[in-house]
């Protein structure tokens, strides 16, 4: 059940999110906020595949890299305008994601996850070894920044641009989720065989969700490229895919706010563990175990179960008609009449 949202609190929260960076003087903290915007965008797109379609993809880091390399190459080698390259990067990531989706989505369960992880590694090796295109381990340098009125964006302006990207991504995913397509995706997640028996094109919808997710990842990758002005294969390894997967589980898959909370928490928390950066995968592995055991529905799912008015109330009986009380009264009358 959805938790009621106070409109006033929502407006106050939005104002804080938009205006808070103006009170932050440290570029380091502004950088963290920008990275949160990138990760929220990525996990929101991934949520469409994992949270709503129920497919455990582990190649989102590769899709993210497709967008970054596409925008970097279009601007540095072909001279495309930055914002044109930015949009084309999303389309290119979606197009490159299609040949990944078509064969792999015929697999189910852990087989699909293993296949996507293998494709993630293939993409990394291509980035490393196709030196004539990607410049190999040296990466692509001097990627032009995003601009406004002919001037490069400042840190605060990059943050606001990131918020716009998050808002548009959130709106796109919400539009899909609340539509008939979204309900069909959730039916596939719950029981693909039953969904197919009801006439739902399960394979086509899963491919659609994957391609839309790839488009969103491509946009995030383009933003990354123009923010850092540099791309290299190490920025899009399998660790990125694992990180996004854990972020989604932490926040709550299959919820619209889950990716926001998960990406925010797991972007800030590792900064308190900078000395243990070499053990990052161990940290995420332990976090995944803890989340699976104690918060199987993520932070959002746990919170909704705590504040929902239906918490603690037993399931409604099918013969109750007007509720639990009416059902009990009708049964008493039947016993008395007998």
Q: Could you tell me which residue, 328 or 281, shows the higher pLDDT?
A: 281
| Residue that has been written with the tokens 């008493």 in this structure | 332
Average pLDDT, the chain: 84
User: What pLDDT digit, counting tens, does each position of 122-178 carry?
Assistant: 999 999 999 999 999 999 999 999 999 889 999 999 999 999 999 999 999 999 999
> In this structure, what token pair is assigned to residue 50?
């994992």
In this predicted structure, what is the pLDDT of residue 51? 92
Question: Hey, how many other C-beta atoms are within 10 angstroms of the C-beta on 18?
Answer: 12
Contact 65, 235 (CB under 8 A): yes
Average pLDDT, stretch 218-247? 93
> Is residue 96 scored above 90 in pLDDT?
yes
> Is residue 215 scored above 50 in pLDDT?
yes
User: What pLDDT digit, counting tens, does each position of 258-289 carry?
Assistant: 899 989 888 887 776 665 666 666 776 777 78
Contact 96, 66 (CB under 8 A): yes
| Residue that has been written with the tokens 């104002």 in this structure | 15
**Residue 112: CB partners within 8 Å, gap ≥ 6?**
55, 56, 57, 104, 105
Contact 182, 53 (CB under 8 A): no
Of the pLDDT bands very low, low, confident and very high (cuts 50, 70, 90), residue 15 is confident
CA-based R_g, the chain, Å: 23
Express as a percent the part of the chain with pLDDT over 70. 85
Check residue 107 and report its DSSP letter. S
Q: What is the pTM of this model?
A: 0.84
User: What pLDDT digit, counting tens, does each position of 225-235 carry?
Assistant: 999 999 999 99
Of the pLDDT bands very low, low, confident and very high (cuts 50, 70, 90), residue 318 is very low
Q: Please classify residue 308 by burial: count the beta carbons closer than 10 Å to its beta carbon, then call 0-12 exposed, 13-18 middle and 19+ buried.
A: middle
CATH architecture, range 28-310: Orthogonal Bundle (1.10)
In this predicted structure, what is the pLDDT of residue 308? 58
Interatomic CA distance for residues 229 and 60, integer angstroms: 21
H-type alpha helices, the chain: 7-19, 27-47, 60-76, 82-104, 110-129, 131-134, 155-177, 180-190, 192-197, 202-228, 238-251, 258-268, 280-294, 298-307, 324-337
> Is residue 240 scored above 80 in pLDDT?
yes
In this predicted structure, what is the pLDDT of residue 171? 95
Most confident of 10-14, 21-25, 133-137: 133-137
3-state secondary structure of 230: strand
Selection from 226, 273, 220, 209 nearest residue 244 by Cα: 220
User: What pLDDT digit, counting tens, does each position of 26-82 carry?
Assistant: 888 899 999 999 999 999 999 999 999 999 999 999 999 999 999 999 999 999 999
> In this structure, what token pair is assigned to residue 73?
């190459």
In this predicted structure, what is the pLDDT of residue 196? 92
**Residue 225: CB partners within 8 Å, gap ≥ 6?**
67, 68, 69, 71, 72, 89, 140, 143, 231
In this predicted structure, what is the pLDDT of residue 241? 92
């Amino acid at each position: 059940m959805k938790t009621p949202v106070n409109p006033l609190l929502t407006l106050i929260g939005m104002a804080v999110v938009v205006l808070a960076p103006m009170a932050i003087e440290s570029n380091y903290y502004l950088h963290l906020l920008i990275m949160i915007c990138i990760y929220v965008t990525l996990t929101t797109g991934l949520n469409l595949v994992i949270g709503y379609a129920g497919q455990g993809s582990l190649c989102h880091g590769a899709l993210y890299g497709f967008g970054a390399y596409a925008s970097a190459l279009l601007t540095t080698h072909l001279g495309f305008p930055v914002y044109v390259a930015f949009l084309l990067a999303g389309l290119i990531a979606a197009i490159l994601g299609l040949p990944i989706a078509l064969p792999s989505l015929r697999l189910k369960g852990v087989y699909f996850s293993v296949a996507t992880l293998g494709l993630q590694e293939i993409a990394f090796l291509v980035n490393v070894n196709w030196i004539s295109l990607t410049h190999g381990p040296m990466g692509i340098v001097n990627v032009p920044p995003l601009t406004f009125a002919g001037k490069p964006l400042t840190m605060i302006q990059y943050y606001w641009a990131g918020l716009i990207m998050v808002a548009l991504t959130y709106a796109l995913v919400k539009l899909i989720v609340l539509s008939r397509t979204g309900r069909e995706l959730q039916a596939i997640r719950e029981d693909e065989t039953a969904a197919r028996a009801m006439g739902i094109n399960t394979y086509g919808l899963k491919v659609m969700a994957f391609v839309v997710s790839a488009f969103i990842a491509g946009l995030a990758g383009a933003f990354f490229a123009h923010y850092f002005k540099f791309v290299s294969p190490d920025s899009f390894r399998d660790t990125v895919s694992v990180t996004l997967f854990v972020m989604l589980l932490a926040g709550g898959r299959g919820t619209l706010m889950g990716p926001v909370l998960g990406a925010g928490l797991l972007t800030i928390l590792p900064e308190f563990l900078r000395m243990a950066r070499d053990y990052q995968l161990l940290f995420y592995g332990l976090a995944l175990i803890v989340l699976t055991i104690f918060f199987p529905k993520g932070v959002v799912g746990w919170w909704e179960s705590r504040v929902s008015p239906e918490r603690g109330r037993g399931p409604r009986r099918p013969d109750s008609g007007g509720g639990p009380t009416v059902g009990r009264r009708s049964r008493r009358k039947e016993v008395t009449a007998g």
